[in-house]
Structure 1
């Protein structure tokens, strides 16, 4: 059941809200139990075969947390390693087994066949959430709560499928709040408005960019210069509006119940360096990789060489987290290399900002997205070759009259059309609007600044004062109009890109 589906909007969500309000009269535990059951039903709708897997993961980690809490000395370490091993084996089997089977087959020349394994949706998110919880229990920074609270913490439906990665210290106090179970008009107004903006990002922007991307990145497409650059820019914006749209929808849905989620985005394409980009893109995953991988490896405490090695290892594993394929490993490696270059440059030339830092960072990120999007390394190489001009230049038919001008510049492109880009469709104008919004407009958290939409308070009110959201008839009409536009565009429901991770 997708957030951008009629079944979710007009059946599931109203039923969950009504049950929450009704059971909330009997206390917060009843309301939390209802949300837990509703979240498990939401997961089971995708594939009921994997609901027992989620339940077993929740029960097993809850039991391990209790063992950790009761143990002392070396026994605590053994329980921790047992928990980490169990979680990583589960994730490794479902997500990476075929990757290793094919890699070993390639190395041995036996070309092994992939196993019939279906990836359970959301497994990366609920596994990482529980790994962080076990580690913090070991460190004494967390203790196992009641089973209802813990089950809701892991399975909470706004975050379960594509994040954000939750942290116990942020969520558990909210689930235990005595005010739970009461629907408040302010929360409903803020939550629905944020949800609608996220829905618009997905249905009106990201989905209209997909037709400019998929044909160019298909295996064997062999794009040319103009096609490759347009498609790469379109994917850069498609991925952002798809994932940030989902994250806004998750924040809005959770706010309906008076629960704030952590942020995942803070205008990452405005970043002035790669470190800043990773502080603003998929923020909860970046936090997890920093706190539970980079810092335990030694962080920046053991000298520059070790720091660079830690950065590379962290980003390579971060790339592999996104998908079991060499394209994701290469993408993570590119970002690791970017970070090493940035820190080396900063140590040599200092950290003063320059006007060209933002466009250079955006270009580096965009070029790395090629490997993230390509289905295999051969297709990625084709796209890179086209971006560099190695596949030739073909322009639309309408520019044929300018042939003399191009010839005077020493250029002799073909005018047989750009095969994969429909300049008469919604894609090109959507691309222009998306670029303006991503690079210059205030983000959702700034628009709702005065109503603290998420856990973090790292924003300021929008510079454009007319975009400062507040309950009013004008904003109500605007949100209703936007919602109706989204409904009219939902004739072809598409999945969120991050569901595959």
Structure 2
């Protein structure tokens, strides 16, 4: 059941909200239990059999958690219980997500003929696994509080964040359980539904429009058809923007839904394409994933407490595993490895003396850094989107067609000079002539799709010049902001008045009109 579907918006959400309203003035067990039960139903909507897997996993983790919290174990025995708990959770994740990947690689390396397991990946398993592991680690450390069976079930299954995050920490949700029932429902509903509508508009109207061009370009590469350089650049930029708006949309909708029920979810997406470095990018993109990898992998590995070389090695390992967390494919490993390398280079760059000069932190240099970071991230998305490493290499070759020669400075300069000095070549950026007709109907661009050049330009301007959702609604404290971003959560919107309601109603109507074609969120695949 997708957030961007008729059944969710007009049936599931109203029923769950009505039950919550009728029960919220009763004992806290009833409204919390009602929402937890609705969340389990929500999870079972796609494949009911996976509900048994989720309930079984929750039960076993409850047992581990109870032993760690109430068992009065010695430090050594507690560590043993924790180890078994982590092995169990990672084992479930490995079986469903990586068994086929492992068999395929064993067959490739050793020439064996092992049969490929036909295993369907349960949705949200990557996110749920990390949340449960974090809870067990904190239980071992003596940091898990407000622990009851119902609280734990609610923390794991709360449907706004169940499928694609944010990766919620128990210390963020459990303390809110009783406070949420005492909040002003009308105010929370107004803020929550407003943010939800903004996210719905981003997904249905913007992200899905950009998907037309991104999917078409990669479909051409997969089919082995050549595309011109302009079309290749439009494809990779369109995908970078599609992924940005798609994940931003889900993050907004999750935050909005949580707020409707009186809960503030953690900040998970904060204008990552405004980042001035790769380090800054990972403080803005999937913030809760970065937090988990830092607290439960990077720091236990030693973090930056050892030598510089060891620090860079730890970064590389963390990003490589973070890449594989996104999917069982070497393309994700390459993507994670690229970001690990870029992070290492970024940290090394910051150690150079001139980076502390005042000029280095001036506005012009920062603008150049933002554009350069955006280009690096956009190019790194190629293996993330491509289905094979070979397809990623082909797309890169289309981006830089130097007749098979080396990517030297002279050929690089000559190519880009040609793009911006020859009128016919530049026009290809707005009317790519090889990509679209082979994939789309001949009249598609004139009847359905937006003009691609205008579409990309407008969305880039919005990304770089407009405040993000957390900033627009900053006065209403929509999220649990991190210390790194708290001072910038300014409220561009002073109050939710009739004018704001009119704009939001207009966005909602446009979004609903686009729901005839329902597409899943990209992070549902991970």
State the TM bucket, normalised to the shorter chain. Answer: over 0.9
Residues matched between the structures, number = 485
* Greater shift in the superposed pair: 135-144 or 285-294: 135-144
Offset of 1:181 from its aligned partner? 7.1
Offset of 1:113 from its aligned partner? 3.7
Matched residue, 2:191: 190
Offset of 1:175 from its aligned partner? 1.3
Offset of 1:59 from its aligned partner? 1.0
Distance 1:407 1:269 in 2: 29
Offset of 1:462 from its aligned partner? 8.2
Matched residue, 2:507: 482
In the alignment, structure 1 residue 146 sits paired with structure 2 residue 148: yes
Offset of 1:249 from its aligned partner? 0.2
8 Å CA contact 1:65, 1:143 repeated in 2: no
Of residues 462, 468, 477 in structure 2, which corresponds to 1:437? 462
Distance 2:168 2:432 in 1: 51
* Distance 1:362-1:278 versus aligned 2 partners, 3 A rule: same
8 Å CA contact 1:446, 1:459 repeated in 2: no
Distance 1:295 1:27 in 2: 41
In the alignment, structure 1 residue 266 sits paired with structure 2 residue 239: no
Matched residue, 2:81: 79
Of residues 366, 373, 390 in structure 1, which corresponds to 2:385? 373
* Distance 1:47-1:305 versus aligned 2 partners, 3 A rule: same
Tell me the secondary structure at the aligned position of residue 199 of structure 1: helix
* Distance 1:282-1:258 versus aligned 2 partners, 3 A rule: same
8 Å CA contact 2:332, 2:384 repeated in 1: yes
* Greater shift in the superposed pair: 430-439 or 330-339: 430-439
Q: TM-score, normalised by structure 2?
A: 0.88
* Greater shift in the superposed pair: 448-457 or 34-43: 448-457
Matched residue, 2:217: 216
Residues 284-433 of structure 1 aligned to structure 2 (within 5 Å): 284-349=288-353, 350-351=355-356, 352-353=360-361, 354-355=365-366, 356-390=368-402, 406=422, 417-420=433-436, 424=446, 425-426=449-450, 428=452, 429-433=454-458
Tell me the secondary structure at the aligned position of residue 218 of structure 2: coil
Distance 2:127 2:458 in 1: 31
The C-alpha deviation readout for 1:209-256, integer Å capped at 9, x for no partner, is 111011211212433211110010000010010011001000000100
Matched residue, 1:105: 107
Offset of 1:182 from its aligned partner? 6.5
Offset of 1:58 from its aligned partner? 0.9
Q: TM-score, normalised by structure 1?
A: 0.92
8 Å CA contact 2:230, 2:432 repeated in 1: no
Offset of 1:468 from its aligned partner? 1.7
The C-alpha deviation readout for 1:30-57, integer Å capped at 9, x for no partner, is 1100010000000010110100100111
Q: 5+ residue gaps in structure 2?
A: 405-417, 438-443
Matched residue, 1:468: 493
Distance 1:181 1:151 in 2: 21
Distance 1:390 1:217 in 2: 21
Offset of 1:390 from its aligned partner? 4.3
* Distance 1:205-1:53 versus aligned 2 partners, 3 A rule: same
Offset of 1:143 from its aligned partner? 4.0
8 Å CA contact 1:222, 1:383 repeated in 2: no
Q: 5+ residue gaps in structure 1?
A: 393-401
Tell me the secondary structure at the aligned position of residue 120 of structure 1: coil
Matched residue, 1:396: none
Offset of 1:357 from its aligned partner? 1.3
8 Å CA contact 2:269, 2:284 repeated in 1: yes
Runs of 4+ aligned structure 1 residues displaced above 6 Å come to: none
* Distance 1:294-1:301 versus aligned 2 partners, 3 A rule: same
Residues 54-203 of structure 1 aligned to structure 2 (within 5 Å): 54-69=54-69, 70=71, 71-110=73-112, 112-143=114-145, 145-177=147-179, 179-180=180-181, 184-203=185-204
Matched residue, 2:22: 22
Distance 2:317 2:65 in 1: 28
Distance 1:452 1:408 in 2: 50
8 Å CA contact 1:20, 1:181 repeated in 2: no
